Structure 1
Amino acid sequence: MYLYHFGLRELPFTLTPNTEFFYGLPAHQEALATLLTALKTGEGFIKVVGEVGTGKTLICRKLLNDLPEHFVTAYIPNPYLSPEELRVAVATELGVRTTGKPDQQQLTQRIQDKLLQLHQQGHSVVLILDEAQALPKESLEALRLFTNLETERRKLLQVVLFGQPELDQRLAGDELRQLRQRITFSYNLRPLNASEVHQYIVYRLRVAGNKSADLITTNIAKQIHRGSRGIPRLINVLAHKALILAYGQGRHYLLAKDVKAAIRDTEEASTGSGLWRWLCMASVSVVALLWGVSSGDWL
């Protein structure tokens, strides 16, 4: 691969959520600060929503690393679970012993006893669910019932939901209005702007070991921004492919043609051709309309 060629210790643009590459850009730093502030206040539900590839899982992992020591976390990365499976998953994460197929009422009682025990030991418990838009409606309702567990002063369990915009659409339904009312903090994770894309790429290259200031220019970063629409996952894909192309030609810097080729090779990347086709179709329609009026076909 191109590691030695560009003076890198590791690949800078992998798709795994490595917190060593977390860069405190405003969008991500604000999301993390919102989460930490909300959790410290002891509220019930907190929600972070963002499009596919905007960095939700990386922020989730960063949150897990940055929580103060008195927090006990239960992390469920794939929550396509029935209410029964969700209870078992929560119990397992909290260290509650389960054998066979436990009675659901008994399991809920065991979870409550464990939460009370942790509270008495001075711990705060937070349940973090990634890809929360995949939770069945019944499981979302089970989550709400979990947050009924409380003392006179605070909730025994806080819940953080990371999800795609579909999560908001599901929560907008009347059947989930009680859960929706319990969401005290929420944050919408936006894509990066062109300046942030440049900072993001340079930072990841630096963390990976590159010391050259000439590898990527502002204009190249703008091209990657247009192609990726500011979505970090697509930024990584395009930057990785562009580096491969530059390496293949023995260059130590990226050219516009590298990014263009990377964009053409990436299905989700924006080539701008969609807008061009729309403009062409619109022009044809206008011409047809004017021709029809002039020839009297509209009478």
Structure 2
Amino acid sequence: MTMYDEYYGLTGRPFQLTPDAKFWFDTTSHKKAMAYLGYGLSQGEGFIVITGDPGTGKTTLVGHLMEQIDPEQLNVIRIVTTQIETQDLLHMIAAGLGVDTSGLAKAQQLAAIERGLHGVARTGRRTLLIVDEAQSLPASSLEELRMLSNFQLGGHALLQIFLLGQPEFRAALHGGDRLEQLRQRVIAIHHLEPMDEHELEAYLAHRLTVVGWQGNPDFSADALEAMYRWSGGIPRRVNQLASRLMLFGALEEIQTFTGEDVMHVTADFDSDMPDRAEEPTQPMPMSMRSDSGQGEAKLPEDVERQLADMAARLDEQDKALRRVLTLLVDWVEGDAAQPDLSMLRDAG
């Protein structure tokens, strides 16, 4: 507990910087990202790419995705890269498959990984590899991932790959011929944007409510405007500012924050981080408080219907694909009869 948690009667820290899926908030951009992920996963192959500036919530997005994934349908391997070279990358993927590749030559590593993918498929699951900070991967490692995506069984991909990176990764992906073959395997791509100005109030209320907020403290319209102007709508910056603001409020016994309170705190921030003060500010936004009081962004109704239909088809396809993969493994590695693939065509 921190001082302001106790002062405002909260049960935890609402604006911690460490990503926590329980604080997930559906901004317009994050809803779109989840829609792209849902579509990509329904395809069961290729690459899904999500990019975004630091602090826009890429890691939180992954945490939310992990909570939605059924481990009986997907075996997930997650890697956070720090310029991982090809050999180390292969070792890490093998470890995620429960395969020991220490001391093996590259060709042997690849064979072991393929056996590991077969082993997962035998259980009726697919394997999803999530690589965070993909902009740090050298081109040789990205090419190795592309090669791994070629592993198939009976015409069905054994591995699907989800790449998260900063904007420079998106630029690199589209910036030359070297990654052309990988680029052709990308089936869904989305760039996370900062939250819209009208979403800030609902974002603050959501995070506070998770830890027992009862309306104290409150934020005036000009306070919300000043917070958005300073943060640019980037969630991590919002969290930084809100945490410092609430500490200031506890010290000064403030129940409703004003624009003047926010400017006092941001002045301290800017003096502590002069580079931040030199960054361009956002244009003055309109008031965050709509007449309806609703801050949640809504997708168009036709998109919502399409997503619901997609979710139903995905569930049906997953069940069929798990049955087919199991039959294919038995057929390839044993004496079973050639499997009937009609169930997969019917599910598609």
TM-score (norm 2): 0.75
1:38 aligns with 2:40: yes
Q: Distance in 2 between matches of 1:24 and 1:186?
A: 18
The residue number in structure 2 matching 1:236 is 239
Equivalences for 1:147-166 in 2 at 5 Å? 147-166=149-168
Contact 1:131–1:162 (8 Å) recurs in 2: yes
Residue by residue over 1:194-221, the C-alpha shift from the partner in whole angstroms, topping out at 9 and shown as x without a partner, is 1111111111011111111651233322
SS at match of 2:49: strand
Distance 1:275 1:201, change over 3 A: closer
Task: Specify which of 194, 217, 221 is matched with residue 218 of structure 1.
Answer: 221
Q: Secondary structure at the match of 2:179?
A: helix
Identity percentage over the alignment? Answer: 32
- 1:195 corresponds in structure 2 to 198
Q: Distance in 2 between matches of 1:31 and 1:272?
A: 27
Q: Which residue in the other structure is 2:169 paired with?
A: 167
Question: Does 1:75 pair with 2:62?
Answer: no
Alpha-carbon distance between aligned partners in 1 of 2:266 and 2:132, rounded to the nearest angstrom: 29
Q: CA RMSD in A?
A: 2.0
Q: 1:188 and 1:174, CA in 2 relative to 1: closer, same or farther beyond 3 A?
A: same
Residues 273 and 35 (structure 1), Cα distance of their counterparts in 2 relative to 1, 3 Å cut? closer
**In 2, Cα distance between equivalents of 1:105 and 1:125:** 21
Query: Cα offset for 1:223?
Result: 1.4
Contact 2:148–2:159 (CA<8 Å) still a contact in 1? Answer: yes
The 1-side partners of 2:248 and 2:240 are apart by 13
* Distance in 2 between residues matched to 1:161 and 1:270, nearest whole Å: 32
In 2: Cα distance, 1:244 partner to 1:199 partner: 20
For residues 229-275 of structure 1, the C-alpha deviation after alignment (integer angstroms, 9 at most, x for no partner) is: 11000000011111111111111221222211332214365678779
1:47–1:23: structure 2 CA closer, same or farther, 3 Å change rule? same
Looking at structure 1, the residues matched to 176 and 280 of structure 2 have their Cα atoms a distance apart, in angstroms, of: 36
Q: Name stretches of at least 5 consecutive residues in structure 2 with no aligned partner.
A: 284-348
Q: SS at 1:3's partner residue?
A: helix
Aligned to 1:279: none
Alignment of 1:1-299 (within 5 A): 1-69=3-71, 70-99=73-102, 101-171=103-173, 172-212=175-215, 215-264=218-267, 265-266=269-270, 267=273
Partners of 1:131 and 1:21 lie apart in 2 by 21
Displacement after TM superposition at 1:50 (Å): 0.6
Structure 2 letter corresponding to 1:191: P
Distance 1:219 1:43, change over 3 A: farther
Corresponding letter in the other structure for 1:252: Q
* Structure 1 unpaired stretches of 5+: 277-299
Distance across 2 between alignment mates of 1:177 and 1:109? 25
When the two structures are superposed, what TM-score results if normalisation uses the length of structure 1?
0.87
Q: After the TM superposition, which parts of structure 1 deviate over 3 Å for at least 4 consecutive aligned residues?
A: 266-276
